[in-house]
């Protein structure tokens, strides 16, 4: 799809804004919204095409039979464009492929297998994310320091808790207050209801395992929209579970449905798609960044845009690429003094657990397709518990389905027999899939290489990342515990599994430009502010100091709002010069 009906805004090269935000995904949308609402004129740069809310969700209301291949197979000539994006097994379909990058145009080098799943368009992966929204706790923020691993987080839970409240209230998170210290409660709308299998698992595990608790997944779906949310055009979740296509109801949180309209109504936002940020311009005399160099994705022309403040929100590896490529006399190896830029790359290891059948309640159904299920928060290596042979922990995402559900249109046949068959469904299915923490290993790293260049002549990233013994021990325990819980709950046909997913596939990349306590151990400080170039901030996954097993997106939102507040106050004080 081209963006012909969305011409580039006429911005002269060299124009100065109050702030530039690089990347329009979950963190970039929040940075833009907050900076605009605090009175700054903001240029939001996105390397991919424009996607407008509702009008550009071209497959959102299509039925399976509306697709040439019933949304079950991609044409081979199209599939060849996605050799990496297709590794997940579910992203590249007739309904969703347009939201993922063409791998042939956007290559990288794998020293070791790394599945880099990307979406280059306005909204980024906020259109395709899993929407599970969990807070980190002091168990997570204190872990590195207590264990003497990597470097200490420069913040604690009390520093970010008010910002979790703030972003949850605006975004809309469905969940329950569960009273778990390892997974702090938040500002929730009513949780999504259980189906009969989920209710059975919850009751069985909670009754038989005092060390763990099955809870409703905390998901960014509106179940009781507030006035603020409806004023943005958002509505209650319709239980369609077609979220990756884009939601025309604005029921789940995305840049398009929430932060972008909020920023636009200030009339201080300029969005420029097709803008590949190549590097940051650093002024040796003033010791600060003055702007960014941009390659037009379509014309390959170079531009420079200037600003008093720069927020990097291009994704963990996207922001790190920009920092590495921002070389000068002061920063001959990229914008870092610590030697940590490009190091400590983390991603949750997952696809390990157990599956089973539930042969009861075959006469029961439920309304629609629930977009989120249950969650079993971390229950290993908690305070007061015996130590495990591995450090940190994992949590289980719980998925349920009905055999043959939604698949009747594939079956051959016609007439009364076909219609009768289409109304019959088999056993209920359940999957417990663990998401485990990956430790911050310094030699899990990425770096720039000219062995290969992209379509625009830029160097590309080389990935040298793998999981270690700690993750292997954690996976063994996760599979055993998943099987045990399903056995105790009376499920049948229980099968443990370990799919040995490579880093990247969980799509939760963290690290490579971490926060820390000094420029000797990190790239950014406790306010996500660059230690040296004080007007540069980074609030996406690159800045994570460790990778708690919880999904990290809510933390990116909170850090973005917090950093924007700090940056604007620093600008007004004169600590950051205009």
Question: How would you label 422-451 residue by residue, b for 16+ Cβ within 10 Å and e otherwise?
Answer: eeeeebbbbbbbbbbbbbbbeebbbbbeee
| pTM (two decimals) | 0.95
Question: With the CA atoms of 336, 320, 449 and 105 taken in that order, what torsion angle do they form, in degrees rounded to the nearest 10?
Answer: -160
Residues 85 and 164 in one domain: yes
pLDDT (tens digit, 9 = 90+) per residue, 147-181? Answer: 999 999 999 999 999 999 999 999 999 999 999 99
Residues 240 and 264 in one domain: no
Residues 372 and 498 in one domain: yes
Q: In 469-552, which residue ranges form alpha helices assigned H by DSSP? A: 469-488
Residue 323 Cα distances to 334, 482, 503, 544, angstroms: 6, 41, 22, 15
In a domain, 11, yes or no: no
Residues 96 and 226 in one domain: no
Element spanning 158, H or E: helix 157-171
The SS3 call for residue 394 is strand
Residues 199 and 240 in one domain: yes
pLDDT above 70 covers a percentage of the chain that reads: 97
Question: How would you label 352-387 residue by residue, b for 16+ Cβ within 10 Å and e otherwise?
Answer: bbbbbbbeeeeeeeeeeebbbbbbbbbbbbeeeeee
| Average pLDDT in the chain | 94
In a domain, 2, yes or no: no
Element spanning 261, H or E: helix 260-264
- Mean pLDDT computed over 411-426: 70
Residues 76 and 162 in one domain: yes
Question: How would you label 303-313 residue by residue, b for 16+ Cβ within 10 Å and e otherwise?
Answer: bebbbbbbbbb
- Mean pLDDT computed over 494-520: 95
CATH code, domain with 335: 3.50.50.60
The pLDDT of residue 463 is above 80: yes
DSSP symbol at 252:
B
Q: Provide the domain count of the chain.
A: 2
The pLDDT of residue 412 is above 70: no
Residues 368 and 298 in one domain: no
pLDDT above 90 covers a percentage of the chain that reads: 87
Residue whose tokens read 């949590």 = 395
Residues 419 and 323 in one domain: no
Q: Are 334 and 559 in contact (CB under 8 A)?
A: no
In a domain, 7, yes or no: no
Residues 364 and 407 in one domain: yes
Domain residue limits at 393: 173-252+348-437+467-502
Based on DSSP, count helices (H) and strands (E) in the chain, helices before strands: 12, 18
pLDDT band at 403 (very low <50, low <70, confident <90, very high): confident
């Amino acid at each position: 799809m081209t963006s012909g009906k969305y011409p580039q805004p006429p911005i002269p090269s060299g124009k100065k804004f109050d702030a530039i935000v690089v990347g329009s995904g979950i963190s970039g949308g929040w940075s833009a919204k907050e900076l605009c609402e605090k009175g700054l004129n903001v240029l939001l740069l996105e390397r991919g095409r424009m996607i407008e809310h509702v009008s550009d969700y071209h497959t959102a209301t299509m039925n399976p039979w509306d697709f040439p291949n019933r949304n079950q197979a991609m044409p081979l000539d199209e599939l060849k464009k996605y050799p990496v994006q297709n590794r997940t097994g579910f992203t590249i379909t007739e309904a969703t492929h347009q939201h993922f990058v063409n791998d042939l145009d956007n290559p990288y080098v794998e020293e070791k297998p790394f599945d880099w799943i990307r979406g280059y368009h306005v909204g980024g992966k906020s259109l395709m994310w899993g929407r599970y929204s969990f807070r980190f706790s002091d168990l997570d923020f204190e872990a590195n320091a207590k264990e003497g691993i990597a470097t200490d987080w420069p913040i604690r839970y009390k520093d970010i808790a008010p910002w979790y409240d703030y972003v949850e209230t605006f975004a809309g998170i469905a969940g329950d207050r569960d009273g778990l210290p390892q997974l702090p409660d938040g500002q929730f709308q009513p949780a999504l209801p259980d189906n009969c299998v989920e209710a059975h698992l919850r009751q069985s595990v909670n009754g038989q395992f005092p060390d763990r608790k099955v809870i409703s997944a905390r998901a960014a779906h509106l179940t009781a929209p507030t006035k603020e949310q409806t004023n943005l055009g958002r509505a209650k979740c319709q239980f369609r579970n077609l979220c990756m296509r884009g939601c025309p109801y604005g029921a789940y949180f995305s840049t398009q449905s929430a932060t972008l309209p909020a920023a636009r109504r200030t009339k201080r936002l300029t969005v420029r798609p097709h803008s590949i940020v190549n590097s940051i311009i650093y002024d040796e005399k003033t010791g600060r960044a003055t702007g960014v160099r941009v390659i037009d994705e379509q014309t390959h022309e170079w531009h420079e845009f200037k600003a008093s403040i720069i927020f990097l929100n291009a994704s963990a590896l996207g922001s790190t690429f920009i920092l590495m490529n921002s070389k000068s006399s002061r920063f001959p190896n990229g914008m870092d003094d610590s030697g940590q830029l490009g190091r400590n790359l983390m991603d949750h290891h997952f696809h390990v657990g157990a599956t089973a059948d539930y042969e009861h309640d075959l006469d029961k159904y439920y309304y629609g397709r629930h977009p989120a299920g249950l969650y079993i928060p971390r229950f290993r290596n908690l305070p007061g518990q015996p130590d495990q042979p591995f450090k940190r922990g994992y949590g289980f995402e719980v998925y349920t389905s009905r055999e043959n559900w939604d698949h009747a249109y594939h079956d051959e046949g016609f007439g009364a027999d076909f219609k009768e068959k289409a109304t019959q469904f088999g056993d209920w299915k359940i999957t417990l899939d663990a998401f485990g923490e990956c430790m911050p290993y310094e030699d899990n790293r990425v770096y720039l290489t000219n062995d290969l260049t992209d379509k625009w002549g830029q160097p590309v990233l080389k990935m040298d990342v793998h999981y270690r013994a700690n993750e292997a021990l954690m996976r063994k325990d996760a599979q055993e515990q998943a099987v045990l819980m399903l056995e105790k709950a009376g499920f049948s046909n229980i099968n443990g599994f370990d799919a040995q997913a490579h880093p990247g596939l969980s799509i939760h990349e963290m690290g490579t430009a971490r926060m820390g306590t000094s420029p000797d151990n990190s790239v950014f400080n406790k306010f996500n502010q660059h230690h040296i170039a004080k007007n540069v901030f980074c609030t996406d996954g690159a800045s994570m100091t460790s990778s708690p097993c919880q999904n990290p997106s809510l933390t990116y939102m909170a850090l973005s709002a917090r950093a924007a507040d700090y940056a604007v106050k620093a600008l007004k004080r004169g600590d950051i010069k205009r």
